[in-house]
A and B are shown apart, each in its own frame.
Chain A
Amino acid sequence: MIGSILLGKGIQTATRVRGNGGSALPGLVIERMNPKFVREILGKLKYGVVVISGTNGKTTTTKIVAELLEKQGLKVFTNDTGSNFVRGVISAIVKKISIRGKFGYDIAVLELDEAYAVKFAEIVPIEYVLLLNVQRDQLDRFGEIDHTAKLLEMVAQHSKKAVVINREDPRLREIDVKRPVYFGLSEDLMKLFPPDEDLPEDTGKRSTELPALVRLKKLVKDRATYEIDGKDFSATLKLKGGYNAYNAAGALALVKTILPKSSTEQFIADLSGVESAFGRGESFTVDGVTVELLLVKNPSAFQLSLDSFASDDYDYMIAINDNYADGRDVSWLYNVDFSKLKQVAICAGMRAYDMVLRLKYDEIEVDSVEQDVDKALRQFVGYSGKPKRIFATYTAMLEIRKLMTGKSLL
């Protein structure tokens, strides 16, 4: 055990010195050498392990849950680096654990990739699971959506205490678990969770037949009203995007399930203070211009983002990469309707030309194309006096974020 910790810390230091970020590398090595490492550490936590999974909203929801539990005085371990494979979790443990193996946390709140969550559940005992949605994602990695739903069902069945489920997701609400807890939407907010086109005919359960512990009832700009246990609570959110107000409903249902005796008013007050996660509506000021960075990794996320953020008062840049982590296949861009955008200032990234071509067929004007993200960003910041929004795939988001946090651009 101590050997594994020392080894992991050693690799972490070495990679940091070499400056090549590689956040999962120590995890990868330990995963190979001591596969029980994660179970030994996480199995001892007082409140156990919470797993959050689904196609969209994992990072933001995990952040909300972790912060709400911390405000209740719990020491929360979380994998907030966004490295959501098993080895990413190990790397995060190595970073936080003392050399003697002291790991001072009460609960682990972990965001896990849909495919890896199953492997994780087979190794580590899980108390609670929160399932957000199953949507079309990087199908070149996951194969079919029905398959992803099955993987999540397997994860849910490992849960010892409760499984919190988005009842508006037609695949997830069919999942067979012993203790489901649902969160949902009111009738007129259903657009926050648009059903995937490729869905079975409406033969299964209807969402409204399932009791929701938390329901997002009303959303006016950033003011959200949640119905919890039959009572209404309102909060003004710093989180950006209507879909995040809905992710927060899942987070609330989860924390209410973990700590049923805690005050709902307090959870709501604390929710108001939660800020957007890394690259998910994060705001930067670059040379006096406000730039918002929005991760778009699949059609539903991109569509919801456009629905929330397309406005004539902003300039837009779209950066599309096709690295493994982005998904090599860019055909998903055709499952997004871009007609809400009137004009796009710059398309960037390795697949910038695919993006321009996509916009051509929605008859949207694009001012310029620049595959090099760094150059494109410099050009974009000086584009006009308007505030700016960037939609970016995962690796493009990381690149842009590094540029914006690292230095002045001009």
Chain B
Amino acid sequence: MNLTILHLYPKEMNLYGDHGNVLVLKRRCEWRGIKVNIIEHNIGDELPAKCDIIFGGGGQDSGQQRIAEDLRNNGKALKAWAEDGMPTLLVCGIYQLFGNFFKMQDGVTIEGISVLDIETEAGDKRLIGNIVIESGKFGDIVGYENHSGLTELGNDIKPLGKVTRGYGNNGSDGAEGVFYKNTIGTYMHGPLLPKNPRIADFLIKTALERKYGAQKDFEKLPDKLEQKARKIAMERPR
């Protein structure tokens, strides 16, 4: 078996070790004997005709402005994939741009690609610190957040989870991230996947099912180390 991971804008959108998410997906596939091909999509590149998992990370405001046009040029294909159930992980900056818009601190608005019905405006202070959320599907999710954007969800889109410690989407409604079809959007880095292997395995398993059918023998990997690191992260000061 083999999977192709599409990594969106690895140069501009890799602020908080986001590249680690791709590494986790790659290794957890390899450890299961699944071959991995990573396609990096940079500004001006053509999107591949096919892929199995999509990942995009966070960037500075300036990075977001640089990629926005290219992202919009590819918006149609990315939207079609999301609607079709493509397993996708979007962190921070790219999460915002998969929404309707991001209005920055200086008042300039970057139009998004409206894959997700969310809207983001920069707030006065950065929301920074360790964060834990409770999600039904993945249990507790642990990470670190650092964003100025405040994101509101549309009526028909569900959050990834409920904040138990930290700020989340906007620091006021207790919601964090989105979970739409198989697309996960979130402000949580750390990076997200090393300490939340259930999400990594969900993306991989879903990709395999879409490509090869049911995965009854999907191998469980040891996760003692992950459990320990999660527990410590949950107890550290914010």
Contact = CB atoms under 8 A, between A and B. Distances in A.
A146 B104 CA distance: 15
A354 B233 CA distance: 9
Interface residues of A, number: 33
B17 A331 contact: yes
A199 B14 CA distance: 11
Contacts of B225: 353, 356-357, 360
B66 A201 contact: yes
Contact of A197 (B14, B148, B237): B14
A200 B11 contact: no
A365 interface: no
Interface stretch (B20-28, B80-88, B149-157): B20-28
Given A144-B61, A198-B59, A361-B23, A331 B226 contact: no
A334 interface: yes
A311 interface: no
A13 to B, nearest CB: 32
Contacts of B180: none
Contact of A332 (B17, B61, B130, B232): B17
B128 A144 contact: no
Interface size class of B (residues with CB under 8 A): 35 or more
B229 A353 contact: yes
A351 interface: yes
B17 A140 contact: no
Given A328-B236, A334-B20, A361 B194 contact: yes
A200 B62 contact: yes
Contact of B11 (A197, A331, A351, A358): A197
A335 to B, nearest CB: 5
A331 B144 CA distance: 8
B62 A353 contact: no
B111 interface: no
B66 to A, nearest CB: 7
A331 B16 contact: yes
B228 A353 contact: yes
Contacts of B191: 331, 334
A362 B20 CA distance: 10
Give the residue among A198, A200, A357, A358 with the most B Cβ atoms within 10 A: A198
B156 to A, nearest CB: 32
B162 interface: no
A357 B144 CA distance: 16
A71 B195 CA distance: 52
B41 to A, nearest CB: 15
B23 A334 contact: yes
A333 interface: yes
Nearest to B63: A198
11 contacts: A143-B146, A144-B15, A197-B10, A329-B144, A329-B189, A331-B190, A335-B19, A351-B229, A353-B225, A357-B194, A357-B229
